[in-house]
Amino acid sequence: MVISGSEFLELASEDKNTSFLGVIGNPISHSRSPELHSFIYSELDLKAKYFALSFETDDSLLNFLEESEKLPNNPGFNITIPFKETVFRKFNSPQLQTIGAVNTLVKSDGKFLGNNTDWIGFVDPIRQLSIKSAVILGWGGAAKGVVFGLRSVWPECKITIISRKKHDNLPGINWVLSDYSDLNQAIIPTDLIVNSTPLGMKGKQDNFSDHFLSRLPETNFAYDIIYTPAETRFLTFFKSKSVPVQNGLAMFIGQALAAHEFWFGHLAPQRKKDLSNSLAKLLQP
């Protein structure tokens, strides 16, 4: 269920013995984060509630976060499209400068601190791969976590970003400009190709054109960080070429468990593994 910021503040003010959290984005009705975190709270017997919250503007969101900082029973929030960079500009920290996006807010001494767990969730399902080169579609907040993850685990990886426009002059990044309908520049084969855009996401009409997909480079592995639907047009295209694929469900679970630990404390490794396995079964389409 999607609620407004005012509804969230009212509920949290009325029940001070319960922790209130949520995921913030737009669109957000497709998100399964409330289902995921509610399952965790039930399994761990935590008195906590988690909601989906939608905002129309950056200003309305930032005003809401300012009010939420005053709530003693609000440990933090998850942040998703399109607000990861907006929240980064307001709630960043030195360690986040190399990522440039926030997907998790954590309350500390009554103030929100930005963090990013996307990169943790992204690398966990593919740590076993040898990745010397990667192509990333999109340059939003999620892509920044992807780049950070690649450089953390495979520091020598050569990265190419295909984006509608060049946003940053990052050292060691090859930029290819495209509107995702056509791709005129040939790109050499790569070890990994990642869709970090919302194109193909459930609830959104926009998708990749067949012509664009046909012009993408050959790859050893295709990864779409979208988890609803389980198989996007992007993944279907590469599966038809017998390329191993990965959707965003494992990343979604991994980043969520990392965020949970920021809010409620460390989970024992076996407990965390059991929760991850149970969540994969729960959320499987």
| DSSP state letter for 268 | P
**Is the Cβ–Cβ distance between 160 and 183 less than 8 Å?**
no
Q: Which of 139, 215, 209 is nearest to 184 (CA)?
A: 215
From the list 49, 84, 107, 144, the catalytic residue is 84
Q: Which of 139, 116, 87 is nearest to 251 (CA)?
A: 116
**For residue 50, what are the β-bridge partners?**
21
Type and span of the H or E element at 64: helix 58-68
84 flagged as catalytic: yes
Which residues are CB-neighbours of 126 under 8 A, at least 6 positions away? 192, 221, 223, 246
Q: Which of 152, 90, 86 is nearest to 119 (CA)?
A: 152
Strand 2-3: give its sheet, edge to edge.
2-3, 48-54, 19-25, 76-79, 104-108, 111-115
Report the length, in residues, of the chain: 285
What SS3 class is residue 165?
Answer: coil
Mind telling me the catalytic residues? 84
